Structure 1
Amino acid sequence: MNTAPPPIGVAVVPVTPLQQNCTIVWCRKTMKAAIIDPGASVDALLAMVEKQGLTLDAIWITHGHLDHAGGAAEMQEKTGVEIVGPHPADQFWINMIPANGKMFGIPDARSFTPTRWLDDGDTVTLGETTWEVYHCPGHTPGHVIFFNREARFAQVGDVLFQGSIGRTDFPQSDHDALLNAIVTRLWPLGDDVTFIPGHGPHSTFGAERRTNPFVSDQAMQRAPIARPASGPS
């Protein structure tokens, strides 16, 4: 039996009034960390990184919505680390962050240009760990997810939730593309993969294949395809 500890550490910090799951991940060997989707609460997130004895190495963004990316510019300004992701198709959402911030009570949120855009098949490194990038459009056109194969762990942003899927009633959303991304890019990674979504509790791909009313194996055999009327942003 393999009793070795996982190669990564993970901590989740809900931020913004939308309770977005900002996720801190780190390499246990080097203690280098990335913050995935710092939507707000930058000082509190940086304090947590310091308290854990971590060294912030990068900011990773799954997609350009305010609650996921609104604090990235401030965090980069305060730390000097790179902003990595999302896919360039989400630049228009990033440009809208200041206006959306005023509407949702986050007036300091700012737009930015990532240091590095991401595409399907890219990888990012964190200390001695490697993370695979999958472009999963649908919720937004430039959404990506981060997967660590060794730890069997993924951060999927607003692609998939416990019992639901991302909304597709936004500009340039595509419901069919979202379903295709889940089935063709997430499911092949394995039923044993644990994922943290952009909102709500964690789950596994296997559990969602069995029970998710939108993308379970049984649901995908039915027609017409169900659409969530509302849900996490």
Structure 2
Amino acid sequence: MARIPLEDNYDDVINKAQRGLGITDEQLAHRAQITPADLAALKSGTFHEVAARRVAQHLRLHADALCQLGKKSWYPTQPVFRTGFAAFNGKFEDMTVNSYIIWDERTRHAAIFDPGASGDNLLELVSSEKLNLRSIFLTHTHDDHIADLAKVVDATKAEVWASEREPVDFPAAKTFKDGAFFHLGPFAIKTLLTSGHAPGGVTYFITGLSYPLAVVGDSIFAASMGGAPTPALYSEALTNNRRHILTLYADTVLACGHGPLTTVAQERKHNPFLAY
């Protein structure tokens, strides 16, 4: 994948954390001991390190990681897969969204994770590599991740799989229970419930490639995470991310729904929501 921007800036992180904790601007400014004007400037994109560090403390964010975002001083080191993995980044309305494919070099069996905004490049790879697309796994069913699902299914006749917790408006889709396992040639695919951003949000943990791979959808982004609309769901998302993703092997590659690839080790250090 060509280098693409981080999904969130520091002010996006502040806004997501503040909404997730249910803290008003007035409360946050008072607790952080900064003026409402300074908070408004910080949240609108005027970075000020002292104010950011004070706000981070009261939003339970890692201050150093937040300030790295504010200074634009960090970008994740990108792992290189020798074979059997490809990533695609396509435009959906005013944003971009990622989709991924893995395949077995011997059998040519393949699986897609989220067809995304456009399946054209995915289908071109399937054709050029003479792959037999067996399965399409959905991390969740927000529109940007499944916009081209029907086209990909029509072209490949692949099975569609999603969590039984996730609403799926696609008649041919099959669902699985928490903790389900799948196999594709030499690859083992374990499902991990990482709900919060979506009720049936799933991370697919895959072994058998150059690195352990976790396709995380919008559960985690490089230096951020997907938003949650209520404090209860925000807490659920944080808990699941810490319990099911950050406990994976340090060299596990995180294939995020938006933004660049990252790794567990890098997010343990550079993600304001999750660093320790």
Bin of the TM-score, shorter chain as denominator length? 0.7 to 0.9
Instruction: Indicate yes or no: 2:179 matched with 1:121.
Output: yes
Output the TM-score relative to the length of structure 1: 0.76
SS in 1 for 2:267: helix
Match among 230, 238, 246 for residue 179 of structure 1: 238
Q: How does 1:1-233 map to 2 (within 5 A)?
A: 9-17=84-92, 18-85=95-162, 87-91=163-167, 94=168, 111-113=169-171, 115-150=173-208, 151-169=211-229, 174-217=233-276
Query: Residue 141 of structure 1 contacts residue 173 of structure 1 at CA under 8 Å; is this kept in 2?
Result: no
Paired amino acid for 1:156? V
Letter in 1 for 2:273: F
Higher helix share: 2
Distance 1:7 1:113 in 2: 36
Q: Which runs of 5+ in 2 are unaligned?
A: 1-79
Q: How many residues were matched structurally? A: 193
Pair 67,173 (structure 1): closer, same or farther in 2 beyond 3 Å: farther
5+ unaligned residues in a row in structure 1: which ranges? 95-110, 218-233
C-alpha RMSD of the superposition: 2.2
Say which is worse superposed, 55-64 or 70-79, in terms of deviation: 70-79
Residue type of the alignment partner of 1:168:
A
Distance 1:173 1:72, change over 3 A: farther
Q: What is the distance in 1 between the residues matched to 2:232 and 2:88?
A: 27
AA aligned to 2:166 is D
Please identify, of 30-39 and 112-121, the stretch whose mean Cα deviation from structure 2 is larger.
112-121
Quote the offset at 1:204 in angstroms.
0.7
Post-superposition offset of 1:117: 1.0
- Contact 1:30 1:128 survives alignment (8 Å): no
How far residue 188 of structure 1 moved from its aligned partner, in angstroms, is 1.8
SS in 2 for 1:165: coil
One-letter amino acid matched to 1:216: A
Larger RCO (CA under 8 A, 6+ residues apart): 2
Partner deviation per Cα, 1:174-222 (whole Å, 9 max, x = no partner)? 10011011111112212111111001111111111112111112xxxxx
Answer whether contact 1:24 1:33 (CA < 8 A) is retained.
Answer: yes
Secondary structure in structure 1 of the residue aligned to 2:117: coil
Q: Per-residue displacement from partner, 1:43-80 (whole Å, max 9, x unpaired)?
A: 43211211123221111110010111122223222321
Contact kept in structure 2, 1:119 and 1:135, CA below 8 Å: no
Indicate the residue corresponding to 1:102 in structure 2: none
Give deviations 1:1-42, integer Å, cap 9, x for gaps. Answer: xxxx97961111112323111111112332211111012323
TM-score under structure 2 length normalisation: 0.64
